[in-house]
Structure 1
Amino acid sequence: MPTNDSHSYNLSFTAASLRPELARIVAECYLTSGDWNLTKERILSSNALQCRSASSAVRLERELRQRLATLTHDQIGLLSQATTEDREAIAWLAACKHIRFAFEFGSEVLRDKLAAHDPVLRHSDYEAYVENKRLTHPELAQLSTSSKNKIRQVLLRMLSEAGLLAKGRPLGIIQRPTLSPAVMNVITTDNPSWLAGFLVPDTEIPSR
């Protein structure tokens, strides 16, 4: 799990929200080929993600592939054949592993607010998080206004798709998703610390 604040955030994730159904297609292709480069070639040559332009296909494929490449073989296998809810969970796990900015927002902001019995996500919560992270991540201060807005928009969409954020004002209502035994197994076998991204409190996260 990434913990070193000296490493720059990956903020180029806006080519895709979770897109669990498309992630499943990439996962299936990888399990068939066993090679990420070959997976890329097959996805793009067949337009498996059904993009309208070659450039958007390249961006979408790259983002999904880079996320899925952080998963274990068992996690990819589950993504390829699981129920809708489990696919969403594994797609969010892949996002957490690849996008530390997203993982830390979930594990620090959303989880702490739930623990404080304050499930309403406000604009001020997000802005305070970004402002705090600027101290160790100057790349956040270098973003244009449009990039800042896009990052927030895509992150909130991911949280909604993962079941961590329900509709509500101002930004949504925080909720802890229910994880199936299959999802719990592939996460805890890998590293149970990732459960923090699913708003599981430390007291319920098994030690390694």
Structure 2
Amino acid sequence: MTVQTGAAIVSIRDEIVDINALAIRTASANKRITAEVCKRLSTLSYEELGFLASDRSSPQDRRYLLWIAMCRYYLFVGEFASEVLRERFLLGETISLADYDRFVLNKALWHPELESVSTATASKLRGNVFKAMREAELIEGGPRGACAIVPAVPGHTLSEMEGPDAASLLFLPVRGLVN
């Protein structure tokens, strides 16, 4: 992503870091978080980015779209969302850290590289996924116990924007495709 400013081309990511647009205390965290945000936003279409930045979108639709961006960028998270989060929602069940751990064990059968992830890293990744689900208001409940899954109700504009198949909405706890 770049913008033309006079004769020089300035990277948007570098500009965000330089002006500390995200108001992050340390320079290293500023760079890391800005890079992460840019990676996730890169998965969104121009229409989705415009919607995210506009006053047409509700705060909840913005949270859903940011969760969708995370699921698109991190395919593993997307698979967890559609295979575990949504499935448990459709069955009327809660979701827990143990569900995530079982998902990882099942995926390790097909992806042996998952077995080499340290326990500390695996725990941090699991915590980040659950934190992101809480921030998107897809789950509620204690960090250690079973969490209630909150039905997602995307707004009409977001539902239409995702297209006729609404595949990205399958990252959300919804019943069927939303049109």
Indicate whether 1:195 and 2:169 are aligned: yes
Q: Secondary structure at the match of 2:148?
A: strand
Which secondary structure state, in structure 2, belongs to the residue aligned with residue 70 of structure 1? coil
Distance (whole Å) between structure 2 residues aligned to residue 129 and residue 154 of structure 1? 15
Instruction: Please tell me whether residue 204 in structure 1 is matched to residue 174 in structure 2.
Output: no
Shift of 1:33: 3.5
2:47 corresponds to which letter in structure 1? D
Residue in structure 2 matched with residue 128 of structure 1 by the alignment: 102
User: Which is worse superposed, 165-174 or 84-93?
Assistant: 165-174
Within-5 A mapping of 1:2-81: 33=3, 38-81=11-54
Give secondary structure in 2 for the equivalent of 1:163.
coil
Kept in 2: contact 1:193–1:205 (CA 8 A): no
Cα root mean square deviation, aligned: 2.4
Q: TM-score, normalised to structure 1's length?
A: 0.75
Provide structure 2 residue ranges, at least 5 long, that are not aligned to the other structure: none
String of CA shifts for 1:110-163, please: whole Å, max 9, x gaps.
Answer: 111122222x11333121111001112222211111111110111001111112
Higher RCO (CA 8 Å, separation ≥ 6 residues)? 1
**Aligned residue pairs: how many?**
173
Structure 2 SS opposite 1:110: helix
Separation of aligned partners in 1, 2:111 and 2:36: 22
Bigger Rg over Cα: 2
What is the CA–CA distance in structure 1 between the aligned matches of 2:126 and 2:154, rounded to whole Å? 25
**Of 173, 176, 179, which residue of structure 1 is paired with 2:151?**
176
TM-score w.r.t. the length of structure 2 is 0.86
Instruction: Kindly indicate whether the alpha-carbon contact (under 8 Å) linking 1:68 and 1:76 is maintained by their aligned counterparts in 2.
Output: yes
- Are the structure 2 counterparts of residues 185 and 33 from structure 1 closer, same or farther at C-alpha, using a change threshold of 3 Å? farther
* Divergent runs of 4+, >2 A: 203-206
The one-letter code sitting in structure 2 at the alignment partner of 1:90 is L
